[in-house]
Chain A
Amino acid sequence: MTATVALRAPSSLQRLLHRRPAVALFLLLVPPLLWFGTVYLGSLFTLLAQSFFAIDEFTTKIVYEPTLATYRQLVTQPANIDIIVRTLVMAVTVTIACAVIAFPVANYMVRYASPRAKAFFYVGVMLPMWTSYLVKVYAWRLILAKQGILSWALGSVGLQGLLDSALELPGVGGPSLSSSYLGMFIVFVYMWLPYMILPLAAALERVPVSLLQAAADLGATPGQTMRTVILPLALPGLAAGSVFTFSLTLGDYIIPSVVGAPGYFIGMMVYQQQGLAGNLPLAAAFSVVPIVLIMVYLSLAKRAGAFDAL
């Protein structure tokens, strides 16, 4: 005869939690919600609240009275509008370039690469993210410099003329790649590309191969399958990736100050206004701009059906 194992009697607390799952859920969620609420949302709203104050021009002290004066300053000074437009254009072009480069890479990784090659690609995509951001930016400054390796390489294969004519383009050109918007664009695309590839690959990974076979079976050519099945189903991944590349470009202040032309970007303004200038309200107002832009972007993406396949 084998001995029976005695069932353990639940304590009164265990009984209570079992009978009222809501209490258990509440107890489990309070610590993370407190952290999230105070540290993330609390500090964000404190910052945003600052934008509704203004600085006194004479004393350079913040006047704690609700006013829209700071926002008026933000949208009426042509220099500020320039900064916003410049940042927005850069963010949009960087996002488009990342999407165009990332899509074939992600599609190849997911659909065609052998398991070994796939692992290699994933590591290859993430490896640059494991090194210091500053090291990469300064390395790119050297790569793009006038006597840098890129201009040397282009020169030695006889493409110096191509580089020179690119640098002569109005608006994006400059004396060298490292001091032009073109160079800044290259560095931004390099930096944020993994943030586009990974969500895209995750979205493509979820598209079963039988859907592609069904499309081909019904008469769709590979191009039609791409347009009518793969792209629409990859849209949520594209939307997620573009939120990363778009918002990271909107908020960055290191790349524009290390590489590229002297024009200011939103991130640099936030950094400068809250630091040297001591104009916290204007810094806060500037940091509202990316939030608004991303909300507009997300609502446009939603209206275009980017999240229908979720």
Chain B
Amino acid sequence: MTAAIEFEGVTRVYGSTRAVDGVSLSIEPGEFFAMLGPSGSGKTTCLRLIAGFESPDAGRVLLDGQDVSYVPPYARDVNTVFQDYALFPHMNVLANVAYGLRVRGVPVSEQQKRAHEMLELVQLAGMAKRSPAQLSGGQRQRVALARALINQPRVLLLDEPLGALDLKLREEMQIELKNLQRRLGITFVFVTHDQGEALSMADRVAVFNAGRIEQQGNPRELYRKPATAFVARFVGSANVAEGSLAQVLSGSAQPFAVRAEHISVMPLDDVPPAWSMQCEGTVADVQYHGATYRWQVKLDSGELFAASFPDTGSGFHPVMGQRVRLAWSRDSAVPLAAGGAS
């Protein structure tokens, strides 16, 4: 099967910075694909390369097997939900949604009919005559979604679409977007800096760092088997032991990661099971997150390790400045590629 989107060694340079540096990836038709990374990691530039707002300086961008590297955006079968929604302020909601049909010369009656259908799809049936300025953030987002979907694109691009919404709305929209994607069966490419969002929604995630892809995989792989220190820290903020610390803890210089939830915090005089790795430190901070407690422990070697523990109402609760022992099983330590950017 031909990939919906394919990057072959794509590079995009701005001045002296390589915003995208030799990226190759392949997105299957009907896949929900997330591009995850901190700001400036090149994920948004990749999205713009798919939409056609940028052209690669090297490499090729293919849509459905066709080289579109230098095809302008209006000739690509791809639509975008913009970060700021980019609704046309001088048009009402209906005209915004119908715009894609209007510029393609679809008869007005058909434009209206299909725009009303799209508004129903995003549950904004009564809002057709409103102006974008009269809508809430969540409603604007739905209009942007309806407008992007009306051309029935093969690929929908979403640029941090949930960033401007409050937490509750964001959770609702995550579920809705996922349902919409299942129903329509089109390829979604989703750019986000929020690892929780990427893990909960995507079929597959590419983690970007400094213009390159650090790791691609399904959310479970990424979380459980991070390949590099960067991925381990960015996805679920794991503790990373490198260099001499790794040597001391595991007896080998190979770096490894361990999740906060796998670390037990115990009094100094407790003896951990023989199969565990362990170290001592001082509690630097205690955060209460509702479902869990999270301790920041300053190790004697200087690093900060985080350990979390469900709030069961009992158990060992060290306070700030208290000396504690940290321990975790050898199985929960994930070996990482040596070196690499972090």
Contacts and interface: CB of A to CB of B under 8 A. Distances in A.
A221 B100 CA distance: 11
A215 interface: yes
B74 A208 contact: no
Given A217-B79, A218-B79, A218-B147, A211 B100 contact: no
B293 interface: no
Shortest beta-carbon contacts, A-B, top 3: A218-B100, A214-B86, A210-B86
Interface in A173-232: 208, 210-211, 213-221, 224, 228-229, 232
A308 interface: yes
Contacts of A219: 74, 100, 103-104, 151
A228 B87 CA distance: 13
Interface in A290-310: 308-309
A210 B84 contact: yes
A210 B99 contact: no
Contacts, number: 66
Interface string B63-86: 000000000111000111011101
Contacts of B83: 210
B147 A232 contact: no
B183 interface: no
30 contacts: A210-B82, A213-B73, A213-B86, A214-B80, A214-B82, A214-B86, A214-B87, A215-B88, A215-B99, A215-B103, A216-B73, A216-B74, A217-B51, A217-B52, A217-B53, A217-B78, A217-B80, A218-B74, A218-B99, A218-B100, A218-B148, A219-B104, A219-B151, A220-B99, A228-B102, A229-B88, A233-B89, A233-B90, A308-B90, A309-B90
A210 B151 CA distance: 19
Nearest to A232: B90
Given A214-B82, A218-B99, A218-B100, A309 B89 contact: yes
Contacts of A218: 74, 79, 99-100, 103, 147-148, 151
Contacts of A233: 89-90
A304 to B, nearest CB: 13
> Which of A213, A221, A229 has the most B CB atoms < 10 Å from its CB?
A213
Nearest to A216: B73
A252 to B, nearest CB: 34
Contacts of A308: 90
Contacts of B104: 219
Nearest to A218: B100
Interface residues of A, number: 19
A216 B151 CA distance: 13
Interface of B: 51-53, 72-74, 78-80, 82-84, 86-90, 99-100, 102-104, 147-148, 151
A224 B80 contact: no
Given A210-B84, A217-B74, 8 more contacts: A210-B83, A211-B86, A215-B99, A217-B80, A218-B148, A219-B74, A219-B103, A309-B90
B86 A221 contact: no
Contacts of A229: 88
Contacts of B84: 208, 210
A216 B78 CA distance: 11
A256 B51 CA distance: 55
Contacts of B72: 216
B73 A217 contact: yes
A208 B86 contact: yes
A228 B99 CA distance: 9
A215 B91 CA distance: 13
B154 to A, nearest CB: 14
Nearest to B147: A218
Nearest to A233: B90
> Which of B72, B88, B104 has the most A CB atoms < 10 Å from its CB?
B88
Contacts of A214: 80, 82, 86-88, 147
A203 to B, nearest CB: 12
A51 B74 CA distance: 59
Nearest to A210: B86
B88 to A, nearest CB: 6
Contacts of B74: 216-221
A217 B82 CA distance: 10
A293 B90 CA distance: 27
A213 B99 contact: no
A219 B74 CA distance: 4
Contacts of B99: 215, 218, 220, 228
Contacts of A228: 99, 102-103
B163 to A, nearest CB: 14
Nearest to B157: A217
B48 to A, nearest CB: 9
A218 B104 CA distance: 9
A114 to B, nearest CB: 13
Contacts of A208: 84, 86
> Which of A210, A217, A219 has the most B CB atoms < 10 Å from its CB?
A217
Contacts of B78: 217
Nearest to A213: B53
Nearest to B73: A216
Contact of A211 (B51, B52, B79, B88): B88
A210 B89 CA distance: 12
Contacts of A211: 86, 88
Interface string A225-265: 00011001100000000000000000000000000000000
